[in-house]
Amino acid sequence: MVDGNPAKLFELTNRNLPKTVKERLAGEDDPAKAIRLWDATYRQRIAKWPVFLATEPEFMELDQPPQLRKSQMRAIFGRIPGTLNPPTITCEQLARVVRAAASHLG
């Protein structure tokens, strides 16, 4: 949330309201109210976690992303890490993943 940057009109969103907002609307068709409630959920999140970090990507290839082989994953992490709830990784592990991915672009 940035001061001076108000919420967009409902028509300019993906229209996929959070469950809590849908529940509070209870079937009402009021886009302005939906945006107010949706915006309120972001404000609650900001109150709970007030720091937001903007970062630059270490590596990005969206058209044909390289795939790391299982052997590479084991060499880097010592195992195949879970992806649904990924573990914290070290800076060295991140550097090795980036090097492995970048080497496929050759």
pLDDT digits (tens, 9 = 90+) for 39-89: 999 889 889 998 988 899 888 889 988 988 999 999 999 999 988 888 899
Triad 57, 58, 62: Cα angle to 5°: 65
Residue 46 half-sphere exposure toward CB, CA atoms < 13 A? 9
Domain residue limits, the chain: 10-48, 70-103
Could you tell me the CA-to-CA distances from 80 to 70, 71, 73 in Å, in that order?
7, 9, 6
* DSSP code for 8: P
Instruction: Convert the pLDDT of each residue in 87-105 to its tens digit.
Output: 899 999 999 999 998 887 6
Instruction: For residues 66 and 4, give the distance between their C-alpha atoms in angstroms, rounded to a whole number.
Output: 40
Residues 6+ apart with CB under 8 A from 10: 31, 32, 34, 35
* pTM attached to this predicted model: 0.52
